[in-house]
């Protein structure tokens, strides 16, 4: 990946040279997607806050040795993914599904017009969310990177450190499971 | 990575999975959670501090890198450029001494301590007797030739040492041989009392003699007349009875009194002689009587 085509990489390089406004722009652009990815992957709001802050701390610490060999978002998600996997390997207790669901429900959601339609859409979103939470870790992360970040198979493979076909297989299994849940 | 795509580009058509579009549409309707303001402030503050710290590397505390130990790097008081100079100089100063030098120093210190202890240990036993009873030949006739010590000198010494009379007495007692205490316990008690009284009494009454007055009487006592307990070699009991007998210097008055007592015993005026002897002993309890007089003093 050439850094010239990635404006985020340019911002990161500017920050490494001492431009704090560049970092603020970079942070404003990626804060939401990173937070959601972490929240839906870790399923623990407290742990999500820790991971979020730790991810940005790593970005800040690595600013001087940052080389734009990949997209900034890929690199950022890679850091977050590694931190999350470390946490999973340490077998930290995660919040149960209700707590994560409550945290997700507190956020604003787009509303539809009819109450019945809204209830139906709410149930579908809730079912989708529960189905995503019940996926195995590798499949859930791949689905989130795909649906939330809209990353390609190669980018997901780069973030997760897996092969492209492995990622494709994980996505296929995960989406089949999600469709089954939604069709019930 | 053949074709770089912007982050917002949708996946390539060949990557599309079955039912992915429907799932993606539904997923976009999920709540859009975002970090709280406190979290945003913390991250932005950390980013600003990092820039300050990069200008002054160790001025702001920061989180450690993944390969560093611990969690935080805290600022230090000295600049980074001084680290080498600080690290080198103490290392040169902390050069270890050779082991043999340490062993030699330790041995010398031990010898010094032992010598000092030996010297301090020998001081009281050696100094006090020589002060009280100067070394005198055990030869009895020589003791008779010793002039009487001038009483004013001893009294002056007692006056000066009025405060130290009791410690001096205890030192004297400590210096005395153990065996002499067996038969002179009464004398020791009186001696202690006497010494504690200090020099005031000594000065006030002309009769009490100083401690080291010389008695001419032991000179007249032949060695054969000594009891078996006192017939031990002088090397073992150097200060026991010979030394006091030589060291005691009698005043003319005392000498006259002792001569008179002897004369009374010789004339068989035993009662009067014994009474005067007891009076003498009462007046001079520290006085070590000669054996010929002591036998009369003993009580059955």
In this prediction, residue A166 has a pLDDT band, given cuts at 50, 70 and 90, of very high
Compute the nearest-CA separation of A56 from chain B (Å).
Answer: 7
Of the candidates B5, B18, B19, the beta carbon closest to that of A152 is on B5
How much is the pLDDT for B244? Answer: 44
What is the average pLDDT value for chain A, to the nearest integer?
81
CB contact under 8 A, B65 and A64: no
How much is the pLDDT for B202? Answer: 40
**B3 vs A150, residue with greater confidence:** A150
In this prediction, residue A115 has a pLDDT band, given cuts at 50, 70 and 90, of low
All structural domains of chain A with their residue ranges: 1-99, 108-184
Q: How far is CA A135 from the centre of its chain?
A: 15
Q: Which residue of A has its CA nearest to B35?
A: A35
In this prediction, residue A54 has a pLDDT band, given cuts at 50, 70 and 90, of very high
Which residues in chain B have Cβ-Cβ distances shorter than 8 Å to A153? 11, 15
> Which residue, B197, B198, B188, is CA-closest to B244?
B188
3-state secondary structure of A6: coil
CA separation for the pair B285, B300 (Å, rounded) = 19
- Which residues, in sequence order, are CB contacts of A139 under 8 Å at separation 6+? A170, A171, A173, A174, A177
Compute the nearest-CA separation of A91 from chain B (Å).
Answer: 19
Of the candidates B1, B7, B29, the beta carbon closest to that of A125 is on B29
Compute the nearest-CA separation of A44 from chain B (Å).
Answer: 13
How much is the pLDDT for B91? Answer: 44
Compute the nearest-CA separation of B101 from chain A (Å).
Answer: 51
CB of B61 less than 8 A from some CB of A: no
Tell me the sheet residues that pair with B249. B214
> Are the CB atoms for A100 and A43 separated by under 8 Å?
yes
CB contact under 8 A, B50 and A60: yes
Segment (H or E) for B63: strand B62-63
- List all residues of chain B from 177 to 216 with a beta carbon under 8 Å from chain A: none
How much is the pLDDT for B162? Answer: 43
CB contact under 8 A, A121 and B29: yes
Q: Which CATH architecture has domain A1-99?
A: Orthogonal Bundle (1.10)
**A54 vs B148, residue with greater confidence:** A54
Please identify which residue in the block is written with the tokens 């001696």: B191
How much is the pLDDT for B278? Answer: 87
How much is the pLDDT for A41? Answer: 84
**A61 vs B187, residue with greater confidence:** A61
- The answer, yes or no, to whether residue A91 has pLDDT greater than 80, is no
3-state secondary structure of B227: coil
**A58 vs B66, residue with greater confidence:** A58
Residue ranges of chain B with per-residue pLDDT less than 70:
1-15, 55-96, 122-249, 298-300
CB of B25 less than 8 A from some CB of A: no
Of the candidates B33, B42, B66, the beta carbon closest to that of A36 is on B33
Tell me the sheet residues that pair with B63. B72
Q: Phi then psi for B62, rounded to 5 degrees?
A: -140, 165
Residues A61-67, mean pLDDT to the nearest whole number: 86
User: Burial of A9 by CB count in 10 Å (0-12 exposed, 13-18 middle, 19+ buried)?
Assistant: buried
CA separation for the pair B95, B113 (Å, rounded) = 28
For the record, the structure tokens of B281 come out as: 């002993």
Q: Which CATH architecture has domain A108-184?
A: Orthogonal Bundle (1.10)
pTM beyond 0.90: no
Give the number of other Cβ atoms within 10 Å of residue B294's Cβ.
15
User: How many pairs of residues across A and B have Cβ atoms under 8 Å apart?
Assistant: 135
For residue B249, the 8-state DSSP code is B
- The answer, yes or no, to whether residue A175 has pLDDT greater than 50, is yes
In this prediction, residue A60 has a pLDDT band, given cuts at 50, 70 and 90, of very high
Compute the nearest-CA separation of A6 from chain B (Å).
Answer: 7
- The answer, yes or no, to whether residue A140 has pLDDT greater than 70, is yes
Q: Which residue of B has its CA nearest to A48?
A: B35
**B224 vs A100, residue with greater confidence:** A100
How much is the pLDDT for B297? Answer: 74
> Are the CB atoms for B283 and B201 separated by under 8 Å?
no
Which residues in chain A have Cβ-Cβ distances shorter than 8 Å to B8? 150
CB contact under 8 A, B33 and A151: no
């Amino acid at each position: 990946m050439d850094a010239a085509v990635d404006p985020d990489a340019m911002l990161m390089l500017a920050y490494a040279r001492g431009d704090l406004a560049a970092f603020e722009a970079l942070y404003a652009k990626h804060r939401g997607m990173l937070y959601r990815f972490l929240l839906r992957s870790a399923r623990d709001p407290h742990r999500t806050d820790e991971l979020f802050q730790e991810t940005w701390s790593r970005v800040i610490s690595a600013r001087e040795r940052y080389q734009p060999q990949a997209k900034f978002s890929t690199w950022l998600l890679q850091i977050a993914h590694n931190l999350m996997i470390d946490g999973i390997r340490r077998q930290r207790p995660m919040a149960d599904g209700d707590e994560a669901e409550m945290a997700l429900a507190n956020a604003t959601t787009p509303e539809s017009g009819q109450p019945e339609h809204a209830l139906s859409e709410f149930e579908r979103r809730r079912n989708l969310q529960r189905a995503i939470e019940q996926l195995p870790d590798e499949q859930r992360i791949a689905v989130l990177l795909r649906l939330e970040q809209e990353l390609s198979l190669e980018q997901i493979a780069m973030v997760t450190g897996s092969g492209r076909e492995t990622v494709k297989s994980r996505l296929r299994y995960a989406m089949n499971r999600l469709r089954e849940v939604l069709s019930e | 990575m053949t074709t770089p795509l912007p982050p917002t580009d949708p996946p390539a058509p060949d990557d599309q999975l079955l039912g992915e579009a429907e799932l993606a549409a539904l997923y976009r309707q999920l709540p859009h959670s975002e970090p709280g303001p406190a979290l945003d402030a913390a991250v932005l503050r950390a980013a600003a501090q990092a820039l300050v710290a990069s200008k002054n590397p160790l001025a702001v505390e920061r989180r450690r890198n993944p390969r560093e130990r611990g969690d935080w790097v805290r600022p230090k008081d000295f600049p980074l450029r001084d680290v080498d100079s600080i690290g080198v100089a103490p290392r040169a100063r902390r050069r270890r001494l050779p082991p043999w030098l340490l062993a030699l120093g330790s041995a010398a210190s031990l010898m010094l301590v032992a010598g000092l202890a030996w010297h301090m240990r020998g001081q009281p036993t050696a100094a006090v007797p020589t002060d009280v009873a100067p070394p005198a030949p055990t030869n009895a006739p020589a003791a008779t030739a010793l002039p009487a010590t001038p009483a004013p000198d001893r009294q002056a010494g007692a006056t000066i040492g009025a405060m130290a009379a009791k410690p001096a007495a205890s030192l004297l007692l400590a210096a005395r041989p153990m065996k002499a205490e067996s038969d002179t316990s009464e004398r020791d008690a009186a001696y202690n009392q006497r010494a504690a009284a200090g020099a005031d009494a000594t000065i006030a009454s002309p009769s009490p003699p100083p401690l080291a007055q010389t008695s001419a009487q032991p000179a007249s006592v032949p060695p054969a007349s000594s009891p078996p307990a006192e017939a031990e070699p002088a090397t073992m009991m150097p200060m026991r009875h010979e030394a006091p007998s030589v060291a005691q210097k009698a005043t003319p008055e005392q000498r006259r009194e002792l001569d008179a007592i002897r004369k009374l015993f010789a004339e068989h005026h035993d009662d009067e002689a014994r009474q005067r002897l007891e009076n003498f002993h009462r007046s001079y309890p520290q006085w070590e009587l000669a054996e010929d007089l002591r036998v009369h003093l003993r009580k059955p």
